[in-house]
Amino acid sequence: MSGGLSVAIREKRFAGGPPVLGEIAFDLAPGERAALIGPSGIGKSTLIGMIAGLDRDFEGEIRTPPGRVAMVFQTPRLLPWRTLAENVAIVCGDPRRARALLGEVGLADAAHLHPERVSLGMQRRAALARALAVDPVAILLDEPLVSLDPASAEAMRGLLDAAFERTGALGLIATHDRREALVLADRVLEFGGRPARLVSDRRSPLSRAERRERGAVEALHADWFGA
Amino acid sequence: MAADAAEPVASGPETRPARRRGGVLGARLGWTGLSLLGFGLVWATLAALIGSDELPGPVAVWEALLVQIRTDGYLGHLGATLARVAAAFGLAMVLGSALGLALGRSAALDRAFGGWLTLFLNLPALVTIILCYVWFGLTEAAALAAVAVNKIPNVAATLREGARALSRDLDEMAEVHRLSRLDRLRHVVLPQLAPFFAVAARNGLALVWKIVLVVELLGRPNGVGFQLHSYFQLFDVATILAYAFGFILVVQAIELLILEPWERRATRWRR
């Protein structure tokens, strides 16, 4: 597949341990948004790290689309000794653009603050702005909504949608929360077993507009995963 | 937007540290001044009661200081010592940091040379000084080397801890965002090491001050250590105290005017 993400892993194990990931193969088309679900600790973050190029010690092949792959970590990983604006500017090299990106995620007024002075939700949004600063063709997100209060999670969800719309980037979102997956993704890949494999790969019947309605998401959740 | 209402931007904290900084420094200087005044009174009283040259009062020491400045190059000796401290301190910080970072980053190096570090950490300062003078002669280079060698293991041990504590998470963040080596150093690595540099500098300076005097006493023709030795032979306690106070003044000035402001700057971002 050209221009998309192609994952074909035979096996991944950490030094001396048992295999963590078994045979896993899937392709994402340009612009496609997929969620990767499965219980905590099954290896979702491991796979995300491999796709991001942080871990090259595995058997198999991962081809990323031409261009930059951005990653939003589960913890925001901002530099605590730099302001939010500086954190973004260090990546894009342009303070004015950094401010514009922070404005895009609703942080224009907080740009001059240090990360420890703002809430986790705001730190996550700054991390998203930083990811967007590399002009990504693909964005990897690790548990983007975990430990946020409902209002912050809702705001973050809207920002993610807007970010994907604007950049047209393909997305892979690791989450342990099935509802979150149904809200965010066109396609849901499910991990199971040990070593982890893909146990299902389903395309969401909901349009991006329909996914914003709680009822539609609940109905699909009941249909796919039972009550 | 709605999200902003849910998470109000903290207002004000940006201006607070500046105000607090000035106030704290002022209050501290005030109390320190009072406390020292008390010390001066106790000292003067004791000296008056004892009435001996072996415990001169503040006035006698002040007069000895003036005599030294006029006739025996007090400021020159103080300057010579200061220059040695600066040179040895700089040398030890650079070499010790490089060594410590290398040991902290490489397990193999640490296994090979960690034992050496322990050895040198426990080598008495006096032994290093004597050996340096014996091997390299009574030269300025030998003196500086002796002080630096005493100090390098401390700096290395501190910075080794710093290198070990470097965050893997931030390292991955820098990798994903493809930060240049220079940017990684400036924005990711050095800020994490700053507190360790500060500790090494602070402990280091205290150590270097003391060892420089011993080095001067044993084998230099000038400096505070040399003068102390000369006036010890004359049993001139007033002059010895005059040098001690000049010394304390300089150390405190460096602490207050250079080290503390730098540490505050380096930790400004903390909550």
Secondary structure string (H, E, C) spanning chain A: CCCCEEEEEEEEECCCCCEEECCEEEEECCCCEEEEECCCCCCHHHHHHHHCCCCCCCEEEEECCCCCEEEECCCCCCCCCCCHHHHHHHHHCCHHHHHHHHHHCCCHHHCCCCHHHCCHHHHHHHHHHHHHCCCCCEEEEECCCCCCCHHHHHHHHHHHHHHHHHHCCEEEEEECCHHHHHHHCCEEEEEECCCEEEEEEEECCCCCCHHHCHHHHHHHHHHHHCC
Q: Which of A147, A122, A131 minimizes the C-alpha distance to A91?
A: A131
Sort out which chain A residues have CB atoms less than 8 A from B9's CB and list them: 109-110, 113, 118
Q: How confident is the model at residue B62 (pLDDT cuts 50, 70, 90)?
A: very high
CA distance A72 to A143: 9
Please state, in angstroms and as integers, the Cα–Cα distance from residue A54 to each residue in A46, B104, B106, B170, B216, following that order.
9, 22, 20, 12, 54
A159 token code pair: 């920002």
What is the secondary structure of B213-269 as a DSSP string?
HHHHHHH-SSSHHHHHHHHHHTT-HHHHHHHHHHHHHHHHHHIIIIIHHHHHHHTTT
Q: Contact B156/B204 with Cβ under 8 angstroms? A: no
Residues in A 13-42 with any Cβ partner in B closer than 8 A: none
Minimal CA separation from A89 to chain B, in Å: 11
Q: pLDDT tens digit string along B133-169?
A: 999 999 999 999 999 999 999 999 999 999 999 999 9
Report the residue of B15, B167, B176 to disrupt the A interface, i.e. the one with the largest count of A CBs within 10 Å.
B176
Q: Does B182 contact chain A (CB < 8 Å)?
A: no
For the four alpha carbons of A221, A122, B181 and B154, in that order, the dihedral sign comes to negative
Q: Contact A33/A164 with Cβ under 8 angstroms? A: yes
Give the per-residue pLDDT at A227. 62
Q: pLDDT tens digit string along B185-211?
A: 999 999 999 889 988 988 888 889 889
| ipTM for this prediction | 0.87
Secondary structure letter of residue B207 according to DSSP: H
Sort out which chain A residues have CB atoms less than 8 A from B269's CB and list them: 80-82, 114, 116
Q: Does B12 contact chain A (CB < 8 Å)?
A: no
Give the per-residue pLDDT at B30. 83
Neighbouring C-beta atoms of residue B124, cutoff 10 Å: 9
Q: pLDDT tens digit string along B206-227?
A: 889 889 999 999 989 999 999 9
Please state, in angstroms and as integers, the Cα–Cα distance from residue A184 to each residue in A34, A53, A172, A181, B130, following that order.
8, 24, 10, 5, 72
Q: Does B6 contact chain A (CB < 8 Å)?
A: yes
Percent of residues, chain B, with pLDDT higher than 90: 65
Mean of the per-residue pLDDT values of chain B: 86
Q: Which of A166, A165, A208 minimizes the C-alpha distance to A187?
A: A208
Second CATH level (architecture) for the domain B50-266: Orthogonal Bundle (1.10)
Sort out which chain B residues have CB atoms less than 8 A from A114's CB and list them: 269
Give the per-residue pLDDT at B22. 57
Secondary structure letter of residue B189 according to DSSP: I
Q: pLDDT tens digit string along B230-261?
A: 999 999 999 999 998 888 888 888 888 888 88
Secondary structure letter of residue B72 according to DSSP: S
B175 token code pair: 């990798």
Q: Does A82 contact chain B (CB < 8 Å)?
A: yes
Q: Answer yes or no: is pLDDT of B14 > 50.
A: no
Chunked in runs of 10, what are the mean pLDDT values of chain A (227 residues)? 81 88 91 91 91 91 91 93 93 91 90 91 92 92 88 86 89 91 91 88 88 87 84
Residues in A 127-186 with any Cβ partner in B closer than 8 A: 130, 133-134, 149, 151-152, 155
Sort out which chain A residues have CB atoms less than 8 A from B10's CB and list them: 113, 117-118
Q: Does B173 contact chain A (CB < 8 Å)?
A: yes
- Taken in order of first residue, the domains within chain A and their CATH numbers are 1-68+139-147+168-227 (3.40.50.300)
Minimal CA separation from B35 to chain A, in Å: 37
Task: Look at the pTM and tell me if it is higher than 0.80.
Answer: no
Minimal CA separation from A52 to chain B, in Å: 7
Say yes or no for a CB contact (<8 Å) between A117 and B178: no
A151 token code pair: 């209002």
Give the per-residue pLDDT at B149. 93
Say yes or no for a CB contact (<8 Å) between A122 and B7: yes
Give the per-residue pLDDT at B15. 39
At A150, the amino acid letter reads P
